[in-house]
Amino acid sequence: MPKSLDQLIDFQIVGQFNGVILKDGYRIKYVKMAIAAQEYWVKLPKELSQSFNPNLVVGSWLEIIGTQSLDRKKGILKLEASSFHNIDAPNISNISDTVIAKPEIKQKKPACILICQKSDCWQHGGKEVYQHLEQALRDRGLSDRVQIQKTGCQKQCSHAPNLVIMPEKQKHRHVKPSQVDGLLNQYFGDRFN
Ligand code: FES
């Protein structure tokens, strides 16, 4: 199991069929389940997807048993079925999604780039680095997710231009505009995928 995935835990849910998501236009990859006003997507392994009736009427009741895991990197709860059964409409008051663990997903700390705007940095390429950062974030559609903050002297004037990547607190010295893309790939490449 990849490190970013939490341990697998069994789940058992009862809910109403709400459609399917197809892969390659024909194979049922996910079954959508409406449970207590929420929709869950449950992955069907190949062997199960072949036995699932794609013409099942939306609103039909299903019981699905399987395993759940949390992809911490993406903050996604993954549900995979090991079996499913059509059932009669149960007593509504007994329905809940409490069998599915609601993992606490830690909010990622905000991403930010602190760039020194004092004269030693600014006049030795800092301004160009700043402009490249702005443009590169715009090009990647990340302007609203990665802030650029101009700061006072970072006490590293002899290594100008200087910047710090947050929340990692990684200091970078002698930064050149040509390094901007590499830095964004390094720190934010998969953060917002
Ligand atoms: S002027 Fe930028 S670190 Fe001092």
pLDDT digits (tens, 9 = 90+) for 136-168: 999 988 888 899 999 999 999 999 999 999 888
Q: How far is the CA of 181 from the centre of ligand 1 (A)?
A: 22
Note whether 188 and 168 are within 8 A (CB).
Answer: no
Minimum-distance ligand 1 atom for the alpha carbon of 120: 1
Q: Are 5 and 72 in contact (CB under 8 A)?
A: yes
φ, ψ of residue 165 in degrees (nearest 5): -95, 125
pTM higher than 0.85? no
Rounded Cα gap, residues 19 and 133, in angstroms: 43
Q: In ligand 1, which atom is closest to the CA atom of 116? A: 2
Q: Determine if ligand 1 sits within 6 Å of the CB of residue 145.
A: no
Kindly give the distance from the C-alpha atom of residue 163 to the centroid of ligand 1, in angstroms, as a whole number: 9
Domains of the chain: 9-94 (2.40.50.140), 111-188 (3.40.30.10)
pLDDT value for 105: 45
Q: Which residue positions in the chain have pLDDT lower than 50?
A: 1-5, 93-96, 98, 103-107
By the 8 A CB rule, do 141 and 155 touch?
A: no
CB 160 less than 6 A from any atom of ligand 1: yes
